[in-house]
Structure 1
Amino acid sequence: MVDVSASLLAVLVVSVLLSAIARRYDVSAPLALVVAGLLAGLIPGIGAIELEPELVLFVILPPLLWSAGLESSYVALRRNVRPIGLLAVGLPLATTFAVGVVAFHTVPELTIAAALTLGAIVAPPDAVSAAAVGRRLGLPRQIMTLLGGESLLNDATALTAYKVALAAAIGTAATWSSGLGTFALAAAGGVLVGGSVGWIIDYVRTWLDDPLVESALGLVAPFFIYFLAEQVHGSGVIAVVVAALMLGQRSTRATYATRLQDAAVWRAVQLVLESFAFLLIGLQLPTVVSELAGISARTLLVASVSVLATVIAVRIAWVFAFTYLPRRLSRRIRETEPRPRPAHVFIVAWAGMRGVVSLAAAFAVPATTLSGEPFPGRPQLVFLTFVVVVGTLLLHGLTLPWIIKVLDVQSDDIHRDALEAAAAQTRAAQAAAQRLDELIAEQKPGSIHDYTPKVLRAWNERRSQAAWEELGRSDEEIGQESPAATFRRLRLEMLEAERKEFIAQRDAGAIDDEVLRNLLRGLDLEEAALNRD
């Protein structure tokens, strides 16, 4: 147990270091970590680190789903509920059946139930992979909404299909009609647990009004919610996503300190867990290969190519068919939904990277059936899962940047966001000016120095104009700084001077460290406001 813990700790530390190096040199960290894991597995003397399903499903998956849910837009997901539903429910089921049929005919050892188990395992694109690769490539928000919404919910569909197919494969009576009941129960239980616990957490965090404790509560929440939902036979995935979406939507009610702290904490957690998951994927090569003794290399090659090609082809066919076919059949869809660009549709179809959840499900397949016989084709099932995960990660991850460039898929989100922010800032400044006038009118004559309203109005005006200045010509184009840029540069220099003086006073013994930390926090908050972009 100590050796396993030490090995996992070493993997965790190395994964973060490799991710830091990849980010430093602007290399795709997910791909670099997978390749590093594969290469490490080839080094003699490095023991195999077998992936524990419980580690993935109960430790890695919940916080990553939670983080993705907090960052997701409930409004955007609701606006795209039809395409996301087709991707998150219909596509995993179609992939399960297609891969099951192909695997059954290419791997003699697999029964039809075992082959469908494999299909359910490789059906869902991974939430970690989609978010990590998509963020780095700067995909348009609409594409990221579809990929993110799909990856948040498709695990529930695939894992339910997996449970039904696995039950049939090991000898437990199971039918697809009972499978539908299982899925309905899992979905309803997940929504109920996620919604109720999410409401309780939101109430408690508001009542506490303590940023440190609120962030700590948010850190343990996804584990508790996932475990509770699974205990009542609900979907832990759906429960975590529902609660995260709810709390993300209500985060505007939290204090600024809680929001700043939560954002920093979850970015760090996300980096650590994503790095750990991707390196762990590559390190599974020795474990997977060790179980293939005596199996025909030709059979493995044919099956690997067939299953990987099926996974990719089914996704492309499904995405294109259910993007354009409903538009031809429904006038309402044509009138209410803008026609998607074929380039954007292809990006969604091509971004089907599998990840660590699929590997966890494969390793969770028992070695024997209820009768005591070896599980049919388990070594091939695990190997084919590994091929699909690594194959999609490397193939899609390496080619997506080139495809995006060739198809000229450019995001205008930055400019559109800037326009919306500028308009909102103008309205907010007007509301602030009106409130200032009301407050001044309520004061007794002479109770406020004349200079105070002038400073506040100037500050308010500067904030209103700054957002519009960012949309105009750059400083290089106009040959000089804008007023907002000048203000920001000078104020940052003043803050740096204050910071140095505070530190010098601490070093001289005039103030202690606690006073210094409080003073620096005030400067940090102001600097964060000045660097809000």
Structure 2
Amino acid sequence: MALFELVIVLLLGAAVLTTFSQRIGLPFPVLLAVCGAALALLPGETISARLDPDLALVLFVAPALLDTAYDTSLRDLKTNWRPIGSLVIAAVGVTVVAVALVSHALVPDLPWAAAIALGAIVAPPDAVAASAVLRQLSPPYRILVILEGESLLNDATALLIYRVALYALTGHFSAWTTLPLFVLGSLGGLVLGYALARLFPLLTRRLAEGPVSIVMQFVGTFAVWVLADALGLSPILTVVAYAITLARNASAHGGAETRVSSFAVWDVAVYVLNALAFILMGLQLKEIGRTADGRLGSYLGFSLAILLTVILVRLGWTMIYAAGVRYRLRRAGGDRSHMPSFGGTVVLGWCGMRGIVTLATALALPEGSASGLAHRDLMISAAFAVVLGTLVIQGLTLGPLIRWLRLTDDGMVAREEVFARQESARAALDTLRHDSRPEAMILRKEYNFRLREDTPPEDTLKPHVFGRLRLKAIRAEREALHKLRRSQKIGDVAFQTVQEELDWAEGHAVHRRRAFTAEAPPGDPGDIPGRPTS
């Protein structure tokens, strides 16, 4: 009970801190990290808050992965696959090796497998804090795309290395058997994730919308992870494939109200999980501090060395990669529009803030010397130091750095949003063009206003007809919007922005229709085929 009461109080504190962070323009993960560190330093009795290692991964990583993957644009990933791939594979790999070398040099009795596991824990940056800062400053869209694509895929790379290292620690690792199994598990996870995403809408479309549908989304996310893990497949890649496929197909199904509510609930859930991760980490650090027996100085020195290594390796790698790309383009005479700028390279190198994935994998480290992790407390301390240090040092300086480098928005998303609105408005006008009712005339006036055309005069309206015609027009807009994304004329960011506008418009129209249903004459031709009446 004491733990529950403490968590409630700390969640309230996290909410207050987040509100404060929004007012002063700081990313909320920075203050959450500071709160977790303060919790570890508070006097008083230590409360045990250890999670089962497998539970820590599925509880924290699965929803965070799905939330990130759901918003990922495949078109943008394909366009920027080279820089994203360099960060996902090369930067993660170099970071793991560098951290392993430094940690083993500082603690010679630390097993190499444990050192590699620590490198995998601290290797993947989290885009939440970086995006919170970058979206306030409107940098070039390509920087956001690279960071968000990296934060999705580098989790998979780092967690695969982490699992291989744990296999080696427990003595079950053999390169000839384990590595092929991991390759098969990765490919099988991608196939399973795709198949489950195609199956999920078929299994849940007859369920009631609203809370039941949202609960099923969470159940499906955890079930996908657990099933993949039980089959010996990669749960990380399975969830990533599941989320990306679901986002490409599920948005065409289900009601607008459920979708708007779902986005709000997922935002809250991921925020609470972030806060809980920092709280649990703070409680574990408090327990570590109580049992350290004079080793706090060595823990602090080790943690600072790992933090410095992580920051310098990422910054160095981005500089080396950018220099190589510029050299190759100059020699080959290729398209220089994709040549990385100095300012963009510095910002990408400085956006190395770590977050919930690092915390979750650290919390998931098995306990006991039998697991080969006699230095578990040291590794957890280093992981939290990396999260806290990168969030505070880089998170607080990223905004001034961008302003100093004078990086500005290139307007790409804004142009695509205007294009999407115009094309969807034309589709709605085509649907309403031959309808002579006054309600249709008013709707045409609204859509003509988007296209800056002449508008007909208003007339006496029948609210139920107006609502039904609006729903019919919105459906035409939505179909046009999906065609634009399928043809890759617009990206997912523009698609999701305009889709959200249509969702709110549809929700408003549905409420108006419900309010005036009693006035509708039977068999009114304005009904939308295939959509159930309220």
* TM-score greater than 0.5 by the shorter chain: yes
Answering whether residue 242 of structure 2 is matched by residue 243 of structure 1, we say yes
CA–CA separation in structure 2 for the residues paired with 1:405 and 1:525: 49
- For 1:233, what is the secondary structure of its paired residue? coil
- What corresponds to 2:500 in structure 1? none
What is the TM-score when the length of structure 2 is the normalising length? 0.76
1:417 aligns with 2:413: yes
Paired with 1:187 and 1:323, the residues of 2 have a C-alpha distance of: 30
SS of residue paired to 1:253: coil
- Are the equivalent residues in 2 in contact too, given 1:29–1:275 (CA < 8 A)? no
Contact conserved, 1:326 with 1:333, CA < 8 A, in 2?
A: no
Report how many aligned residue pairs link the two structures: 460
Corresponding position of 1:531:
none
Change (3 A) 1:275 1:524: farther
> Alpha carbons of 1:319 and 1:430: their partners in 2 closer, same or farther (altered >3 Å)?
same
Partner of 1:395: 393
The amino acid across from 2:241 in the alignment is: V
Aligned position for 2:13: 14
Distance 2:208 2:332 in 1: 46
Q: Whole-Å Cα distance in 1 between the matches of residues 183 and 513 of structure 2?
A: 49
The structural deviation recorded for 1:306 is 2.5
Counterpart CA distance in 1 for 2:355 and 2:216 is: 28
Partner AA of 1:424 in structure 2: A
8 A contact 2:100–2:118 mirrored in 1: yes
Q: What aligned pairs does 1:38-53 form with structure 2 within 5 A after superposition?
A: 38-45=37-44, 47-48=46-47, 50=49, 52=51, 53=53
Residue 294 (structure 1) shift? 3.9
- Cα separation, 1, equivalents of 2:26 and 2:514: 31
How far off is 1:397 after superposition? 1.0
Give the match for residue 407 of structure 1: 405
Distance in 1, Cα, partners of 2:513 & 2:139: 31
Match of 1:436 among 432, 439, 443: 432
What does the per-residue CA deviation read over 1:168-213, in whole Å, with 9 as the maximum and x for residues that have no partner? 334x042456554344133213212211111111333455584554
Q: Which moved more, 1:277-286 or 1:190-199?
A: 277-286
Cα separation, partners in 2 of 1:207 and 1:90, compared to 1, 3 Å:
farther
Report 1:285-300 matches (<5 A): 285-295=285-295, 297=297, 299-300=298-299
Q: Which moved more, 1:25-34 or 1:229-238?
A: 25-34
8 Å CA contact 1:291–1:379 kept in 2: the answer is: no
Q: Secondary structure in 1 aligned to 2:202? A: helix
1:54 Cα shift?
Answer: 4.1
Match of 1:455 in 2: 442
In terms of mean alpha carbon deviation, does 257-266 or 230-239 score higher?
Answer: 257-266
Any conservation in 2 of the 1:194–1:243 contact (CA below 8 Å)? yes
Give the whole-Å Cα distance in 1 for the aligned partners of 2:336 and 2:185: 32
User: How big is each residue's C-alpha offset from its partner over 1:212-242, in whole Å with a ceiling of 9 and x where there is no partner?
Assistant: 5433322322111111112122222222221
Matched, 1:101 2:88: no
Residue 396 of structure 1 and its aligned partner are, at CA, apart by 1.1
Number of the residue aligned with 1:148: 148
Identity %: 32
User: Which whole-Å CA distance do the structure 2 matches of 1:287 and 1:132 have between them?
Assistant: 31
Q: Which piece of structure 1 moves more, 19-28 or 182-191?
A: 19-28
Code of the residue aligned with 2:444 in structure 1: it is R
Counterpart residue identity of residue 192, structure 1:
V
1:335 aligned onto 2:335: yes
CA distance in 1, matches of 2:333, 2:100: 33
The 2-side partners of 1:97 and 1:16 are apart by 38
Q: Aligned with 2:452: secondary structure? A: helix
Say whether the 8 Å CA contact 1:130–1:148 is kept in structure 2: no
Runs (5+) with no aligned partner, structure 1:
441-447, 467-482, 484-517, 527-533
Offset at 1:21? 3.8
Task: State the distance in 1 between where 2:401 and 2:84 align.
Answer: 23
Q: Deviations 1:402-455 (Å, cap 9, x if unpaired)?
A: 211111122234xx4333333333333333333323x44xxxxxxx55x44543
Aligned residue number for residue 234 of structure 1:
233
TM-score by length of 1: 0.76
Aligned twin of 1:486: none
Residue 425 and residue 368 in structure 1: after superposition, are their counterparts in 2 closer, same or farther (change >3 A)?
A: closer
* Partner of residue 423, structure 2: 427
1:268, distance to aligned residue in structure 2 (A):
2.5
Deviation string 1:110-131 (CA, Å, 9 cap, x unpaired) is 1333222222221222355445
Per-residue CA shift, 1:143-188, capped at 9, x if unaligned?
Answer: 2221211121222222222222233334x04245655434413321
Tell me the equivalent position of 1:384.
382
Given that 2:274 and 2:356 are in contact with CA atoms closer than 8 Å, whether structure 1 keeps it comes out as no
In the alignment, is residue 126 of structure 1 matched against residue 115 of structure 2? no
- In 2, the alpha carbon distance for the partners of 1:162 and 1:307 equals 17
8 Å contact kept, 2:39–2:286: no
In structure 2, C-alpha distance between the alignment counterparts of 1:402 and 1:229, rounded to whole Å:
43
* Separation in 1, partners of 2:296, 2:43: 24
Write the distance in 2 (CA, Å) between the matches of 1:128 and 1:425.
Answer: 28
Alpha-carbon offset, residue 19 of structure 1: 2.1
What's the offset of the Cα at 1:142?
1.7
Matches within 5 A, 1:182-261: 182-206=181-205, 210-254=209-253, 255-261=255-261
CA distance in 2 between counterparts of 1:267 and 1:167 reads 34
SS in 2 for 1:433: helix
Q: Say which SS state the counterpart of residue 308 (structure 1) adopts.
A: helix
Paired residues of 1:161 and 1:179 also in contact (CA < 8 A) = no
**2:193–2:237 Cα contact (<8 Å) kept:** yes
- Rounded to whole Å, the distance in 2 between the matches of 1:220 and 1:249 is 20
Query: What displacement does 1:339 show?
Result: 0.9
Q: 1:141 Cα shift?
A: 2.7
Contact 1:117–1:166 (CA under 8 A) maintained in structure 2: yes
How far apart are 1:400 and its partner, in Å? 0.9
CA contact (8 A) 2:56 2:360 kept: yes
Q: String of CA shifts for 1:22-69, please: whole Å, max 9, x gaps.
A: 335544321112212222332222534545244531122222222222
Structure-1 separation of matches of 2:309 and 2:133: 22
Q: Partners in 2 of 1:111 and 1:41 — Cα distance?
A: 27
1:54 & 1:12 partners in 2: Cα distance? Answer: 23
Aligned to 1:354: 354
Q: Is the Cα contact below 8 Å between 1:40 and 1:283 reproduced in 2?
A: yes
**Whole-Å separation in 2 of the counterparts to 1:107 and 1:340:** 39
Structure 1 stretch 53-62 or stretch 207-216: which is displaced more?
A: 207-216
| 1:88 shift after superposition | 1.6
**Larger displacement relative to structure 2 (397-406 or 332-341):** 332-341
Inter-CA distance 375–238: structure 2 relative to 1 (3 Å threshold): closer
